[in-house]
Amino acid sequence: MLAPISWLKDYVEINVSPETLAKKLVAIGFEVEEIIYQNRQATKVVVGKILTAERHPNADRLRVTKIDVGSDVIQVVTNVPVEGGETIAVALDGAKLADGHEIKRGELRGVLSEGMLCGLEEVGVPCDAVEGQKQGDILRFEEGTPLGTNALDALGFNDVILDVAVTANRPDCNSIFKLAKEVAVALGTDCKAPHINYAASTDANAEISQMLKGVEVKNSELCPRYMAAGVKNVRVEASPLIVRSRLRAVGIRPINNIVDITNYVLTEIGQPMHAFDIRDLEGSEIVVRNALDGEVCVTLDGKKNALTRRYCGNYGRRGQRSQGRHARDRL
C-alpha cells in the first residue's frame, strides 16, 4: 500500500525520519518495500531567474539567456520565447530529468549552453497537480521564490511516500487511517479518529426511495451487505488540489469531484464506495451479482475488460460495471 507521510500525519504525529519510521514499522511486522521521495524524481532542477535574454547570433528562433540560480549565474540557450525577468525552472549541468534524460553543458549553434529550461513534463508532474502551471510551457514561479531551490520543492511536490507490504492477515491496514494506528503503535503515540460530520434530510429514507427503486443482492455470500444513500443538487467539477495530489500519490488517477471522493474515502478509511448517476441506472435500481462469463466492461481508461463469474461486481446501466479498486463508472 502506498501511504504518503503527509496523509498519515492527519491522524498521528510523526517526528522521525522516513527511514526511522520504516524501520519501526518493520519491527512490528510491516515491511516497507520502498521510500519514495517526490522531490527526487528529477535531480539538479532548480529555481532560477532570467536576467537577460538576447537573440542567438546564429539562429533567429533561439535566445541566449543569463540565469541567476542563487549560487551562480549560468548561460542557457533556449527556443522558449522568454524576455528576461521571469522566474523559472532550469536543469543544471548533470541534471537527470524524470524520464531519465541527463543534461550536459555543450554548444548550440556555436554558443555555450549550461542547462535547459524545464516544464512540468521534465520534472514528472501532471498538469493538474499544480495550480497556475500550463502543460507545454516552462515552469514559472512567483517573483521572490528563493533562487537555487529544488524546483519540485517550490512546486509543493515534496511528499514522502511509504510503499508498505500489507500481509494477507492484516487487510484492515489497507487504508491510511488503519495504517496510521499501526504507526502510532510503532512510535508509542496516539492516533486521532477521523472527524465525520454531515447533515441528512429529515426524511432521507423517503427521498432515497423516490430516487432509487431498490438494491438487490444476488450473492449474499460474497456481498453480505450493500447500502445506498443519495445526494442531490450536485455539481460535477475538478476536485480540490489536495484531493487530486493525494490520489495521484497513491496511484489513483483523479477524474472529478464525485468519483474522486469515493476513491478518497476508500483509501483513507477503507470503506468501498461508488457513485452512480441516477440517470444512468437502468430501472433506477442497483443489482449486485456475479459477472457472466465473457461479459465485457469498459473502464474509465478506455480499456475493455473481459469478466468471468468468479468476480462479484455492482451493475448499473446495461448490466455492465467496472471491477476493482481503481475502476469507476463515468458520471
Parse the chain into domains and list their residue ranges.
2-30+166-187, 43-154, 204-319
> DSSP 3-state assignment of 243?
helix
Give residue 278's pLDDT. Answer: 87
pLDDT digits (tens, 9 = 90+) for 267-315: 999 999 999 888 888 888 899 999 899 899 888 778 899 998 874 444 4
Reply yes or no on domain 43-154 having CATH 2.40.50.140.
yes
Long-range contacts of 64-72 (CB under 8 A, 24+ apart): 64/111, 67/115, 68/147, 69/147, 69/148, 70/46, 70/146, 70/147, 70/148, 70/149, 71/148
Could you tell me the pLDDT band of residue 229, with boundaries at 50, 70 and 90? confident
Could you tell me the pLDDT band of residue 233, with boundaries at 50, 70 and 90? confident
> DSSP 3-state assignment of 215?
strand
Question: In angstroms, what is the C-alpha Rg of the chain?
Answer: 25
Arch. (CATH architecture) of 204-319: 3-Layer(bba) Sandwich (3.50)
pLDDT digits (tens, 9 = 90+) for 114-144: 999 999 999 999 887 877 777 789 999 999 9
> 43-154 with 204-319: one CATH topology?
no
pTM (2 decimals)?
A: 0.81
Could you tell me the pLDDT band of residue 196, with boundaries at 50, 70 and 90? confident
Q: Is the pLDDT score of 322 beyond 60?
A: no
DSSP 42-82: SEEEEEEEEEEEEEETTEEEEEEEEEE-SS-EEEEEESS--
